[in-house]
């Protein structure tokens, strides 16, 4: 069997501890495989529902939202670089989270995508949807879904960023 080559890794962040755990995995894998690392975040566009003739209209993204997600990317890049990685890039996108991640990876293929998962129950996943589940079904590369949290990290109890990662 030929060796597995992982030269390009992408990781998506949403500000949750689950995504932070996924970033740890991605950094470790990038070091082990001497791979480049792309750190992605998508500021989610919230649709504005109108009349039945127009299903939805995009709204203007609040500047604070964009700054929040840009900050996630910047701090992720800084963390990866502080771990000794040199081939690190950061990308902040705006729009529908699943569509933006899939489109980015179509334009900039990766050998592996790393995502965090909140581990939604089947009922919640049916009602709310799962970003990690949807992305994993639509990208053309292997996907590592990092479930759970590292030891000693408790799940958040307050409001979290608008994502179900």
What CATH code is carried by the domain that includes residue 133? 3.40.50.620
Does 138 reside within a domain? Answer: yes
**Whose CA is closest to 12, among 99, 81, 123?**
99
Q: Is residue 155 part of a domain?
A: no
pLDDT score for 164: 44
For the chain, the domain total comes to 1
139 in a domain, yes or no? yes
pLDDT band at 147; cut points 50, 70, 90: confident
pTM of the model: 0.80
Enumerate residues 6+ apart whose C-beta is below 8 A from 74: 90
How confident is the model over 9-41, as pLDDT tens digits? 999 998 888 899 999 999 999 999 999 999 999
| pLDDT (mean) for 90-104 | 93
The whole domain housing 101 covers: 8-34+46-85+97-108+116-147
The CA distance from 11 to 105, in Å, is: 11
Q: Is residue 92 part of a domain?
A: no
Residue recorded with tokens 């990685």: 85
Q: What is the sign, positive or negative, of the torsion defined by CA atoms of 129, 130, 131, 134? A: negative
**Does some domain include residue 90?**
no
**pLDDT for residue 160 is more than 60:** no
- Tokens read off for 42: 């998508």
Please report whether residue 156 resides in a domain. Answer: no
Q: Is the pLDDT of residue 142 over 70?
A: yes
In a domain, 72, yes or no: yes
């Amino acid at each position: 069997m030929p060796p597995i080559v992982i030269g390009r890794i992408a990781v998506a962040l949403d500000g949750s501890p689950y995504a932070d755990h996924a970033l740890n995995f991605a950094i470790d894998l990038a070091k082990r495989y001497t791979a480049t690392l792309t750190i992605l975040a998508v500021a989610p566009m919230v649709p504005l529902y109108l009349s039945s003739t127009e299903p939805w209209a995009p709204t203007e993204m609040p500047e604070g939202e964009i700054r929040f997600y840009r900050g996630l990317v910047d701090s992720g890049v800084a963390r990866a670089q502080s771990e000794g990685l040199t081939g690190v890039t950061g990308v902040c996108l705006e729009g529908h989270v699943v569509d933006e991640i899939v489109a980015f990876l179509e334009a900039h293929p990766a050998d592996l995508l790393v995502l965090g998962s909140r581990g939604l129950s089947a009922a919640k996943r049916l009602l709310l949807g799962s970003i990690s589940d949807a992305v994993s079904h639509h990208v053309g590369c292997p996907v590592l879904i990092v479930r759970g949290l590292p030891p000693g990290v408790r799940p958040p109890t307050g409001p979290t960023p608008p994502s179900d990662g």
